[in-house]
Amino acid sequence: MFKWLSKYFASPSELYKAGILGMNSRNFKFIAKYNKRRRYPLVDDKVQTKALAQKFGITTPRLIGTIEYQHEVAHFQEMVKDWKSFVIKPAHGSGGKGVLVISSHNDEHYFTPSGRMLAYKDIYQHLSNTLSGLYSLGGQYDTAVLEEMVNFSHIFDEYSYQGIPDVRLIIYRGYPVMAMTRLATAASGGRANLHQGAVGVGLDIKTGKTLKAVMRNMPITHHPDTHADLSKIEVPFWKEHLIIGAKAYEMTRLGYLGADIVLDADKGPMMLELNARPGLAVQIANGIGLRKVLKRVDKYFPKRLSPEERVDFLLNYDGK
């Protein structure tokens, strides 16, 4: 189970001492205890998450439309004709699978951020595959979501290769507790997902500044494609990121969750998606174990505060 950690830590007991949260603890002590199963559909379905976020005053990329049935696939050209750029993703996808980012198009051709040219029939095929569940959890029939492409803030241009980076926050009982930014690489094809080969940069939860960086669970200092120094990152609008993350708790009532946030050049930080079973690699990117951090919240962080109050509490917290 700890294969991905074994490069750094010699034994399970050392892992335990380092406060690393393992898969079993995450699943049973935290996910099973704090996440009610009936609330999962709220976050497992990206269309529902978007609608819910709107209710809570959280910005998300605008929905262009959804495609549910094969006979609707041919309508996609009509749907996107007034949108310069757009993204297709499965409503029940995860790990970046099936996410297709189109940064420009004309009647015949569609271009990805890396300059790959796709034809009408390629998009048609991608949508058709999406509906058949090729990219989805459990492989069941799915809905294709078409949304606007985030107009990513140029502040990160040198840090991300042909794709937008995101910030992953781990939210525990309404408190953001751990953060990383994930940077697209040539290997990850414009998506900021670690399993696709993106870089993970652990961020200090109070400041949004770099702690350390990893790629495929190995420590690195510079971006593999842009060669930017990863130790210098400081995410702007950090407090706004934290507030969006904290609000995800009121939105879902899930006690343990991951929130993906992106920084739009015009609209500021927006919520991309939520995850009820966030991965544990964030610990590697931070060089900090989650177990201690979660215990600290249980012990010292007040319950029943508003999202803004929780973020203020966190920012002013200087206990151990």
Interface with ligand ADP, residue 281, by CB under 6 A: no
**CA–CA gap between residue 5 and residue 284 (Å, rounded):** 8
Choose one: 19-27, 30-38, 114-122, 145-153; the region binding ligand ADP (CB under 6 A).
145-153
Contacts of 52 (CB under 8 A, 6+ apart): 42, 251, 252
Q: Interaction with ligand ADP in 46-75: which residues (CB under 6 A)? A: 61
CB 112 within 8 A of CB 149: no
Interface with Mg ion, residue 44, by CB under 5 A: no
Angle, alpha carbons 154-159-162 (nearest 5°): 75
242, containing H or E segment: helix 238-252
State the number of binding residues for Mg ion (CB under 5 A): 1
Task: Determine the interface stretch with Mg ion among 50-58, 252-260, 298-306, 311-319 (rule: CB under 5 A).
Answer: 252-260
Query: Do the Cβ atoms of 167 and 271 come closer than 8 Å?
Result: no
Q: Cα dihedral angle (35, 38, 42, 47), rounded to 10 degrees?
A: 150
In the list 35, 94, 143, 185, the residue contacting ligand ADP (rule: CB under 6 A) is 94
**How many other CB atoms are found less than 10 A from the CB of residue 188?**
24
Regarding 169 and contact with ligand ADP (CB under 6 A), the answer is: no
Would you count residue 142 as binding ligand ADP (CB under 6 A)? no
183 binding partner (options Mg ion, ligand ADP, none; Cβ < 5 to 8 Å by kind) = none
The CA distance from 162 to 149, in Å, is 13
Q: Is 260 near Mg ion (CB under 5 A)?
A: yes
| Closest CB to Mg ion among residues 97, 209 | 97
Closest to ligand ADP by CB, 22 or 189: 189
Q: How many residues bind ligand ADP (CB under 6 A)?
A: 23
Hey, what amino acid is at 173? Answer: R
Task: Estimate to the nearest angstrom the gap between the alpha carbon of 310 and the chain centroid.
Answer: 21
150 sits near ligand ADP (criterion: CB under 6 A): yes
Comparing CA positions, the residue from 245, 257, 269 lying closest to residue 61 is 269
User: Binding residues for ligand ADP, per CB under 6 A?
Assistant: 61, 87, 89, 93-97, 99, 101, 147, 149-150, 163-164, 166, 184, 191-193, 260, 272-273
User: Binding residues for Mg ion, per CB under 5 A?
Assistant: 260
